[in-house]
Amino acid sequence: MKRLLILTTFFMTLLLAAGPAWSGPSSGGKQDFNLAALVVDYVRDQANRPPEDMRIEFPAKPPEVTLEGERISCDVSPLGKTTLIGNCRFIVRFFDGGVFIEKYQVRADIEVLERYVTAARVVKRDTIVGAADLQTSERWVRRFSMKSVADVDEIMGKRLTVDLVPDREVTRAMIKEPILVKRGDVVRIVLDSGPLSLIATGVAEEAGVDRQRIRVKNLSSQRVILAKVVGEAFVRVETF
């Protein structure tokens, strides 16, 4: 009997030392979530630009959230405006097994690295811009400008309407299509009508850029007609 008591005491000691073999719901179902990291991941995933071209800051540090559940998932979506730049608000919703359990609002300030075109040297008004006249610069912005030009190819071959000094930004308002026909220029007038093609000489009564319709006097008939500018000193009469 004494031996049985000793064995029983020994096995009970082993069981207590190993801890309980089963426990009910505990802290094992708790998960920590960093709201700031969730918003940053969402913005970078949605933005069509590399991560290094974005700066995301939070006016107030979002809290770290601890939630309890078996299958917790989250969804991040913007509140209000959908353009991810400037002052933005987001809502982070949490679900457990598809059932909504909690939500949080997060404010973020987003800056984007914008590329824009500037003058590489002094360029005079009415100059037809070439590659040597332009350069690309960068700046951080909190809103997009419709006036800015990001690619030099969009400006090359255009005519300046202002004088430029080095590093001055070139905006869309500063460029125009080059004048291909000036008032008083002698031009070739082409008329294509099916298999028939006629060429005449005329004088431009007004200036015109590519694809612009201008008044031209036909020197043979002395009639003033409308023709479309299609090249330097070259216009075409359109038939309908």
Q: Using CB atoms within 10 Å of the CB of residue 44, give its burial: 0 to 12 exposed, 13 to 18 middle, 19+ buried.
A: middle
The whole-angstrom separation of Cα 194 and Cα 199 is: 14
Percent of the chain with pLDDT over 90: 68
The whole-angstrom separation of Cα 32 and Cα 68 is: 9
Q: What is the pLDDT of residue 1?
A: 40
> Residue 22 pLDDT more than 80?
no
Q: What is the pLDDT of residue 32?
A: 92
* Other Cβ atoms closer than 10 A to 124: 9
Is the pLDDT higher at 29 or at 183? 183
Contacts of the segment 195-202: beta carbons below 8 A, 24+ positions apart: 202/227, 202/235
Residue 85 structure tokens: 């730049």
| Domains of the chain with bracketed CATH | 31-112 (no CATH), 113-176 (3.90.1210.10), 179-237 (2.30.30.760)
- Residue 90 CB partners (closer than 8 Å, separation 6+): 39, 42, 76, 77, 78, 79, 105, 106, 107, 108
At residue 63 the predicted structure's pLDDT band, cuts being 50, 70 and 90, is confident
pLDDT per position as a tens digit, 201-235: 999 999 999 889 999 999 989 999 999 999 888 99
Q: What is the mean pLDDT of residues 162-181?
A: 94
At residue 240 the predicted structure's pLDDT band, cuts being 50, 70 and 90, is low
pLDDT per position as a tens digit, 115-142: 999 999 999 999 999 999 999 999 999 9
Residue 103 structure tokens: 């939500």
The whole-angstrom separation of Cα 40 and Cα 196 is: 65
Q: What is the pLDDT of residue 218?
A: 92
Residue 178 structure tokens: 């080059």
Range of weakest confidence among 2-6, 58-62, 86-90, 161-165: 2-6
The whole-angstrom separation of Cα 163 and Cα 153 is: 19
Q: What is the pLDDT of residue 143?
A: 92
> Residue 5 pLDDT more than 70?
no
Largest CA distance in the chain: 137
> Which pTM was predicted?
0.64
Average pLDDT, the chain: 85
Q: What is the mean pLDDT of residues 173-190?
A: 92
pLDDT per position as a tens digit, 66-115: 999 889 999 999 998 878 999 999 999 999 999 999 999 999 999 999 99
Q: Quick one: CA dihedral 91, 96, 97, 98, positive or negative?
A: negative
Q: Residue 139, SS3?
A: strand
Residue with tokens 């989250």: 74
